Structure 1
Amino acid sequence: MLRLAPRTCVLALGIGSILAGCTEPDATKAPAGPPAPLADVELVVDELGITHVYARSDADAFFGAGYAMARDRLFHMELMRRRAAGTRAELVGVKVLDDDVMARTMNFTKLGEADEARVRAERPEEAALFDAWTAGVNLRIEEVRSGAAPRPFGMRESELDFLPEPWASHEAFAVGKLLSFGMSNSLDRDILATAVARMAPETAERLPVLMPAFDVFPGAPAGAGGNAAPAPGPFGPPGPPKADAAAFPRDYEPIMRETASNNWALAGKHTESGRPYVCGDPHQSLTSPSRFWAVHMNSAEAGGTLDVVGFSFVGTPTVQLGHNAHIGWTATTNFADVMDLWDVAPDAAYESVSVGGETVPLVKRDEVFRVIAPGAKAGTFVDEVTVEIAEVPGYGVILPDEMLPIPRPLLADGRLLFNWTGFAPSMEAVAYLEIDRAKDIDAFEEAASILEVGAANFVAADAKEIDMFVHARVPDRGDPSARPMPWRSITDPEDPASYWTRGDLPADRMPKRRDPPEGFLFTANTDPFGFTQDGVVENDPYYYGAFYANGFRGYRIEQAIEELVASGAKVDRAAMEELQRDVRSPLADTIVPLLEEALANVEADPALAAYKGRADLVAYAAKLSAWDREMRADRGEPVMFNALVWFAARRVFEKPMTSALFGAIHEASPPFFLGMLHNVLTNRFADASYFAPDGARVLLLAALDEASAWITTRFGSIDADFELGDVQGALFQSDLPGSAWDTEPMAVGGASDTINVAPTRFFDGNEPAAYFESTEMSLYRMVVGFAADGTPEATVNFGRGNSAEPDSPHYDDQDAAWTSVTYAPLPFRRADVEAREESRVILAGGGK
């Protein structure tokens, strides 16, 4: 293999020069006295585009990481801090104005300042490390502002034409709070559940929307683990609709897309090395560039505490997911319910509001939003919008109408009061820093216990143990059987017991497992306890959450690992990588046999008389019967199966839910309807026949008829040469349409129910979409094993590239590996890094 000689250059920060021939900034143009590390810092870039920071202290390692992130992602960082500050419309335009309104309603800037103040008060040494990271970012900004470094993409004269301002120390904390909000988000689910209850009350009573498709409950602690009492009766009979479906918007857009992920760990007793594997693939919105940035920080060689590699969220200073020299860890969203809504009635002057019988004055502020003109340079504004925000001290914030995805009268008679545990100061940055430093599973759990918001299902391992651990602030809402829990509908504001007066659930009511006897752990956003098994959470020992993933991915992970273990063969890394590629559809495993059974009864069942002699339907079903039920991009049967299940889902749910709600839920969360369809067709709940009154056979053959007609119209016949990859692709979405950040869809396999996930929205309005875009998928996939000396060793693939600069060789160099799910070693040991070295920069220290 030919390898170019690595480039080395020295950046003498304000006190020297740069070696001739290096493409890095000309220090002679730099202003005097920019921030500098204490001692020299090496930035070694490998062939994946990952920067490995070698420093003589923890502070210098953070300085180097901040500089390196800004070197790769400065404009991306600008967008992230503006997203947290609610000023992104000043650069991107009106399409993100709703996001800006949400950010300033939550006041992430103020929350970031409060988090920073708490860290400075309680953990001043760690605060100094975050200051060093900010100083590293600001060094790169100084280089750009002075002309010593070129402007990054997005800031150049040919684009938005502006120079970045220095980062303030609180801004990384604000970005972190924004990310925690995303991991905490239940707003959209609460809003849609309320809309169903008000617009289709009988459906709300009959359809157990919380019930999973499969009973997969991976993290029950002692005292939890199932339903402890019979389900209480309905909290009042369904009444007439309280809202008119005609007012529901046809262009429903969620406040924030929900996130999902897979992770698992396999104990050493099942592996070829005798040491564990830990694997993870976080599913989030696909963006161009990716919201993750890979980095390695090492101060341990010089006596520091850091030797950690993995992925950071852009705009934050720590490695959130990855491995250090002792442990590896991954995470999935936990979906603990840490947000509530109340329907409150302000006084006529909108000066106060009644909460639990107490009158509380409103604290109001006006927020002014500036919106850039389409295609204009930064600072050119076409509009200013003023939104009044009203806070209820001690209880939360009134959601402005401008933030809501549907008209407020469809949800409430008054105004919507919102509370979130993240409004209190917290120390997520410190938690991830301590995870980065952890030397064993005990230390890992101690570090993860610092987390209070952004609840995550961590799966971790060292060379000896595997662990699943969760810690977060979850409000104790009292006896679940005493009143409707907050998922069901917006809460009665006059019920004093509905407010968070009992503190939080104790640690022993969090999901956790360590070294289980079966020798494996996994999570996939499912209910950890089994509380939702019967579709009711009001009959459980306590209330933890309600809306979880429907169990498809968790079921398939558990099934596949059990098959590996039962085979008796020792599991190797290749088997773990293959499991992350898995596109076997549990939904197809359920529905295809039901379809076969329906066709087998066409002659005998009078209800199916309309389908006698339909050779086209027989041929269609025969193709699905012969199919291996894998949603591969190079097969046509997945397209046929998707058509069948979505036409069936629409037949089942559109009428009882109203067309508007069906469209909104389909837009917000396509997997929901597929899980509910599974439950209807398998008679998993008592009222299943209400949603398929003519029976599963009639339903499936009617859907098959629609699917056959659509396939024939779209492709010419069911025997035509078409593949899933022709019509389905991953789309990395850009904040700057029409720019170099734009991408074309990349053909991928997978579906909503597969481990290698690819959820898509099948309908575009009333018709199937012309192309099925998946915009929420795995941002990276990682498999961590352990060497004989206990050091973690990882293989990885990730979307896009580590640089946000379109002219960088590392802008999109990882797309091929990501789409094909092929892996490369993640360099960690110094010898491996240097063997894959592509370039090197030395940040010259400013002191001793």
Structure 2
Amino acid sequence: MVKLGQITRPSSMKKFLLGLCLIVLLTLTASYLYLNHLKPSYSGTVNLPELSAEVEVLYDDFAVPHIYAENEEDLFYTFGYVHAQDRLFQMELLKRVSSGRLAEVFGPEALETDIFFRTLSFEKHAKWAIAERDPNAPFMKAAAAYIKGINQYIHEGKTPIEFTLSGIPKEDFTLEDMEKIAGFLGYTFEAAFQTEAVMTYIDAKFGKAYTKDFDQSWPDEEYKIPVDNKAIALAKNLALIEQKLSKIDEKLDFKPFHGSNGWVISGSKTKSGKPILSNDTHMAFSQPSVWYEAHLECPTFKVYGNFIAGTPVPALGHTYAGGWGLTMFENDEADFYSETLNPENINQVRYKDTWVDLETREEKINIKGGADTTIYVKKSPHGYILNGAFEDLDGTAEPIALQWVYHKFPSKHMEVFYNLCKAKDATDARAAVEPLTAPGLNFMWADTSGNIAWWAAGKLPIRPEHVNPYYILDGSTGNDDWQGYADFDLNPQTLNPERGFLYTANNQPDDMGNGLVPGYYVPSNRAKRIEQLLDTDKTDWTEDSMRDIINDITSPTYSEIIDSLIQNLDKTVLNPKAKSLLSKLGNWDGKHALESTEPTIFYRWVFEFYQVAMRDELGEHFYPSFERSHVFKKSMKTFFENENSPWWDNINTPEKENRDALISEALNKTVAFLENQLGENPEEWKWEKVHSIEHPHAMGKVEALRHYFNVGPFPAPGGRETINNMSFGMDSTGLYKVTAGPALRRIIDFSTPQKGHSVLPTGQSGYFMSKHYDDQAQLFVKGGKRAELMARPDIENVMIGRLVFKP
């Protein structure tokens, strides 16, 4: 006989399970509804209490806001609100890293990063820049209105989920925050931190015979640091600083410029008869995208632009009259000085035969989950002392000071870009860019009047003739000091060149009669390819044919390097598989298509070659610094072709190795590695299997959140220093995970400036549940485009929402 209790138990369990499922379902539904509620609002009405008149925002089909106002203050006030709605967390991270305030929310792990950026003193220089400006200047009123709009959203708008997940409190923005962000961007452009460190170390440790392969710009007999223990210790400390900074950069969630391409073609060579501007800025990939697009319009200010989070005026943009693009100038605007401490007073250094006091500033850093700490930022006559920014630098070595143009002048970036938005022609544009101090930038210009122009803008230090700025300098005598700054007329520039086009690809510019500008210019790979494609008799260029160039994935330099390697290797020691690849490699045209196999072989061969050539000298500690530096890329071809380089000999063996044997050994190692990685059939060694892009979000560092916040990975065409430039590190993994590349691709035909074309790497929105978080990602990888609209009827045809702001 079955008891009653035995019959009812299953029914009770079923009810329990059903109840549990219902609770889970309700929780998931509530979570989804809550997260969905946090999406940006693209339609409706918003009250902004300090507006003087109604402002209208139309959102196009890619969620680009088109803002219409009756005056500039209302325009920028509304833009600050709209920008914050899409990118507030991105703004917050930029503000905190540039302020040295990450440890407040992320704890002790972020302390070293904070100390370094406090040492760079962005806040002090932000206050200086603002104090030097007239608060009633139009660009300052625009900035103040923009900041007010951001804060209005912070107070009344939705809180992005990242703030909740990370525990970061929302707080108001200030004009100083805007300036600090600009200073941080300037730091990220500085190649001196990478290159001067490794070059100084190699020179001090091994001598000029080893550096001549990489320093092609300086006579052998000039300027050499004595190879003694003090010099080596000094060079080692500088190299250690670079290694520390590389680790800091890896942690940062915003890593901007790495290069860029830009060119302008005059109307004499275009089908429309008007100039065409093409620009793709090379920046570290991140999510959300670095650039934010917006169209701002009122009676006195009309521009379609690309904006950095927390900044009110576009760094890239165009109007109905003209437009501009940017690339990094790559000029050397920072030097390192070895300072001599007073043995009787550690707060003094030797300068021009006397002891001078160091300026000292106290900084308190709050640390989440730990005790607050106080640091002392010191400054010599040359600049801020870097040693104190890193705990474990060799305390016995002399201090290293950074002299940087950014620190020498109050920033002018706000007025430069504001005035560019107002420029009507090349004369106005030149006047707008002339005041720029740092970082150095190449401005390309085109206008509807038919002008094309290029200006390398920035303050250029005048150095003594004996000084090689690629090495650490002596701060004690004053003999190595800068002697002033060149007049802007001597900066490289051109207006309406006879051949009908101009370009910049981070390559060395010609001089203006006063010598070449020192800098960290990249190899001519991209410049050479651009020249090949543009310097033709073609006179019917269009936006579409320009896009073929901006997406080009062929490197003429790499095919030349392959030819040189093949000609000089020792075939007698090659294994059969390696020999069978020579014909295929010899016919490579340098194209980096997804289905190509040659790039996979080439980059591994280069990696193995550098390994066998340089690891014995630089070791595991300093070799990565070399691989990250500009000299690695710039000198590859000349390095491989120098059969007498001392690098070929392994210093750890009694016999003397030669280049040809190393080339062969590297190819054998390449084949063995790829067989193990991708299989024995070389036809399966396709580029798409090893080369990919992923756009990382700060929250994506948590593995459980990576799928939701990161975008990608996607197989990607292109490679190092192709026009479609995809930057990656080369390490033992054999995987080439792209870290930087085109942060947008934009082309404007000035016969129709109201309809340019562009594409972002992911999307406009910074919110992971928005359709517009990643709606351009596949379009970007495939080399596509979408319209940049300025004509209201065109915008209304694709409009997805209308947001009205009322007083």
TM-score, length-scaled by structure 2: 0.86
- The equivalent residue for 2:66 is 52
**Contact 1:448/1:470 (CA < 8 Å) preserved in 2?**
no
Structure 2 residue aligned with 1:660, among 593, 598, 621?
Answer: 621
Determine what percentage of the aligned residue pairs are the same residue: 21
- The equivalent residue for 2:692 is 729
Matches within 5 A, 1:399-478: 399-403=386-390, 407-408=393-394, 413-423=397-407, 424-463=409-448, 464-478=450-464
Distance (Å, rounded) in 1 between the aligned partners of 2:113 and 2:168? 22
1:811 aligns with 2:773: yes
Matches within 5 A, 1:257-336: 259-299=258-298, 303-304=299-300, 306-336=301-331
* Gap change, CA 1:530 and 1:192, over 3 Å in 2: farther
Distance (Å, rounded) in 2 between the aligned partners of 1:694 and 1:351? 50
* Gap change, CA 1:233 and 1:429, over 3 Å in 2: same
Residue 320 of structure 1 aligns with an amino acid whose one-letter code is A
By how many angstroms is 1:440 displaced? 0.9
Structure 2 residue aligned with 1:675, among 620, 630, 634?
Answer: 634
1:713 aligns with 2:713: no
- The equivalent residue for 2:478 is 496
Distance (Å, rounded) in 1 between the aligned partners of 2:736 and 2:495? 40
Matches within 5 A, 1:407-806: 407-408=393-394, 413-423=397-407, 424-463=409-448, 464-478=450-464, 480=465, 483-488=466-471, 490-500=472-482, 502-529=483-510, 541-542=514-515, 544-562=517-535, 565-566=536-537, 568=538, 570-598=540-568, 608-611=571-574, 614-666=575-627, 668-669=628-629, 672-683=631-642, 688=645, 691=648, 697-719=660-682, 721-736=684-699, 737-738=701-702, 739=705, 740-763=708-731, 768-769=732-733, 771-787=735-751, 791=753, 793-806=755-768
- The equivalent residue for 1:146 is none
**Contact 2:595/2:686 (CA < 8 Å) preserved in 1?**
yes
- The equivalent residue for 2:174 is 168
- Give the gaps of 5 or more residues in structure 1: 1-20, 144-148, 212-229, 373-380, 532-539, 600-606
Distance (Å, rounded) in 1 between the aligned partners of 2:62 and 2:106? 30
- The equivalent residue for 1:136 is 149
Cα deviation, 1:315-339, whole Å, max 9, x if unaligned, reads 1110110211111211111122221
Matches within 5 A, 1:204-223: 204-210=210-216
**Contact 2:42/2:802 (CA < 8 Å) preserved in 1?**
no
Distance (Å, rounded) in 2 between the aligned partners of 1:485 and 1:209? 10
1:395 aligns with 2:391: no
Report the secondary structure of 1:467's partner residue: strand
By how many angstroms is 1:828 displaced? 1.4
Residue-pair matches, total: 743
Distance (Å, rounded) in 2 between the aligned partners of 1:770 and 1:595? 20
By how many angstroms is 1:431 displaced? 0.6
Cα deviation, 1:754-813, whole Å, max 9, x if unaligned, reads 1111122121xxxx21532111111111111122xx635311111121111111111111
- The equivalent residue for 1:186 is 192
Report the secondary structure of 1:498's partner residue: coil
- The equivalent residue for 2:115 is 101
Residue 74 of structure 2 aligns with an amino acid whose one-letter code is D
By how many angstroms is 1:572 displaced? 1.6
**Contact 2:338/2:473 (CA < 8 Å) preserved in 1?**
yes
Residue 197 of structure 1 aligns with an amino acid whose one-letter code is D
**Contact 2:789/2:795 (CA < 8 Å) preserved in 1?**
yes
Cα deviation, 1:118-142, whole Å, max 9, x if unaligned, reads 2226x62321111111111111112
- The equivalent residue for 2:652 is none
**Contact 2:191/2:520 (CA < 8 Å) preserved in 1?**
no
Residue 419 of structure 2 aligns with an amino acid whose one-letter code is E
- The equivalent residue for 1:12 is none
Distance (Å, rounded) in 2 between the aligned partners of 1:311 and 1:87? 27
1:834 aligns with 2:796: yes
**Contact 1:633/1:748 (CA < 8 Å) preserved in 2?**
yes
Report the secondary structure of 1:731's partner residue: strand
- The equivalent residue for 1:224 is none
**Contact 2:648/2:662 (CA < 8 Å) preserved in 1?**
no
**Contact 1:276/1:786 (CA < 8 Å) preserved in 2?**
yes
- The equivalent residue for 1:7 is none
Matches within 5 A, 1:355-366: 355-366=351-362
* Gap change, CA 1:194 and 1:118, over 3 Å in 2: same
Distance (Å, rounded) in 2 between the aligned partners of 1:595 and 1:263? 31
By how many angstroms is 1:203 displaced? 4.5
Report the secondary structure of 2:670's partner residue: helix
**Contact 1:785/1:794 (CA < 8 Å) preserved in 2?**
yes
Residue 817 of structure 1 aligns with an amino acid whose one-letter code is L
Residue 491 of structure 2 aligns with an amino acid whose one-letter code is M
* Gap change, CA 1:131 and 1:833, over 3 Å in 2: same
By how many angstroms is 1:161 displaced? 3.9
Distance (Å, rounded) in 2 between the aligned partners of 1:110 and 1:741? 35
Distance (Å, rounded) in 2 between the aligned partners of 1:271 and 1:127? 39
- The equivalent residue for 1:338 is 333
* Gap change, CA 1:76 and 1:367, over 3 Å in 2: same
Residue 742 of structure 1 aligns with an amino acid whose one-letter code is N
TM-score, length-scaled by structure 1: 0.82
* Gap change, CA 1:598 and 1:343, over 3 Å in 2: closer
**Contact 1:757/1:777 (CA < 8 Å) preserved in 2?**
yes
By how many angstroms is 1:550 displaced? 1.6
By how many angstroms is 1:616 displaced? 1.0
Distance (Å, rounded) in 2 between the aligned partners of 1:758 and 1:363? 43
Distance (Å, rounded) in 2 between the aligned partners of 1:597 and 1:35? 73
**Contact 1:42/1:843 (CA < 8 Å) preserved in 2?**
yes
By how many angstroms is 1:432 displaced? 0.3
Distance (Å, rounded) in 1 between the aligned partners of 2:709 and 2:493? 41
* Gap change, CA 1:268 and 1:691, over 3 Å in 2: farther
Distance (Å, rounded) in 2 between the aligned partners of 1:643 and 1:22? 48
Report the secondary structure of 2:773's partner residue: coil
- The equivalent residue for 1:150 is 158
By how many angstroms is 1:150 displaced? 2.4
Distance (Å, rounded) in 2 between the aligned partners of 1:281 and 1:779? 7
Cα deviation, 1:353-384, whole Å, max 9, x if unaligned, reads 22232332223233233344xxxxxxxx2454
* Gap change, CA 1:718 and 1:646, over 3 Å in 2: farther
Report the secondary structure of 1:639's partner residue: helix
By how many angstroms is 1:205 displaced? 4.4
* Gap change, CA 1:164 and 1:24, over 3 Å in 2: farther
Distance (Å, rounded) in 1 between the aligned partners of 2:406 and 2:552? 36
